[in-house]
Amino acid sequence: LAGDLDLSSFKALKKVDVARNNLSSVSVANCSMLTDFNASRNILTSVDFANCSALKSVLIYKNRLTAISLDAASLIETLNVSNNLIVELNVSNLTAMTTLNCQSCHLESLLVDGCTELKNLYCGYNKLTALNLFGVENLKNLDVSSNQITTMVVSGLPSLSTFMCSNNRMTTLGVRNCN
């Protein structure tokens, strides 16, 4: 498959897997029953998820996306947008999300505050200078390696079992109340 793919007229779709093609855009707008979407390893510059309120898994890694809007998809549990060209990512409305992989995206801003179910956050290999972990007290795995973070406070994360922060510009790392 190559070019643009419009699946928006297929209202009964529950799962879409169009990975490893040459798609530049995909629309699944108004596919209100869609729960699983995989368009990884394409050349996507746009994806339309409008009115996809049942989405639980979105895998769109290794594409050319510069932005993504998941406003209507508050049930997402797994989101992998790694290896894209996204500079700002705000997923704070995704309160059911347990895993976020946004590594190697050129991210300068990442908002995850309020993602109360988040257990796995992989945001290494970006350009982040700071990361607010407020409201993610269920976090178990955190990778912020290879960013530009100078100061970081890790606090109130009693379930944290893996923390990777190598290759940053860190001068201060505060760890408290993680018991």
State the pTM of this model. 0.96
What pLDDT shows up at residue 176? 79
User: What does DSSP say about strands 22-27 and 46-48: parallel, antiparallel, or unpaired?
Assistant: parallel
pLDDT at res. 25: 98
- Looking at residue 51, its pLDDT comes to 94
Contact 97, 76 (CB under 8 A): yes
Closest C-alpha to 36, from 50, 16, 63? 16
pLDDT at 166: 96
Please give the pLDDT value at position 65: 98
pLDDT in the model for residue 177: 76
Which residues, 6+ apart, have CB-to-CB distance to 9 below 8 Å?
none
* Burial class of residue 60 in the structure, from the number of CB atoms within 10 Å of its CB (0-12 exposed, 13-18 middle, 19+ buried): buried
Contacting residues for 149 by C-beta, under 8 A, at least 6 apart:
128, 129, 130, 131, 165, 168, 169, 170
Mean pLDDT for each consecutive 10-residue tract of the chain (179 residues)?
95 97 97 97 97 97 96 93 98 95 98 95 97 93 97 91 94 82
Half-sphere exposure (Cβ direction) of 90: Cα atoms closer than 13 Å: 3
